[in-house]
Chain A
Amino acid sequence: DAEITQSPRHKITETGRQVTLACHQTWNHNNMFWYRQDLGHGLRLIHYSYGVHDTNKGEVSDGYSVSRSNTEDLPLTLESAASSQTSVYFCASSEKGAQPQHFGDGTRLSIL
Chain B
Amino acid sequence: AQSVTQPDIHITVSEGASLELRCNYSYGATPYLFWYVQSPGQGLQLLLKYFSGDTLVQGIKGFEAEFKRSQSSFNLRKPSVHWSDAAEYFCAVGAGHSGYSTLTFGKGTMLLVSP
Contacts and interface: CB of A to CB of B under 8 A. Distances in A.
Given A50-B100, A98-B32, A40 B107 contact: yes
Interface in A92-112: 92, 94, 96-106
B: interface residue count bin: 20 to 34
A98 B90 contact: no
Interface stretch (B14-22, B42-50, B67-75, B76-84): B42-50
B105 A31 contact: no
Contacts of B26: none
Contacts of B96: 97-98
Contact of B43 (A90, A94, A99): A90
Contacts of A106: 41-43
A43 B105 contact: yes
B99 A96 contact: yes
Interface of A: 31, 33, 35, 40-45, 48, 50, 58, 90, 92, 94, 96-106
Interface in B78-113: 90, 94-96, 99-108
B44 A42 contact: no
A100 B102 contact: no
Contacts of A35: 105
Given A98-B94, A98-B96, A98-B101, A42 B106 contact: yes
A48 B102 contact: yes
21 contacts: A31-B101, A33-B103, A42-B90, A42-B105, A45-B104, A58-B102, A90-B44, A92-B43, A96-B99, A97-B96, A97-B101, A98-B51, A98-B95, A98-B101, A101-B44, A101-B46, A102-B46, A103-B43, A104-B43, A105-B41, A106-B41
Contacts of A105: 41-43
B100 to A, nearest CB: 5
A48 to B, nearest CB: 6
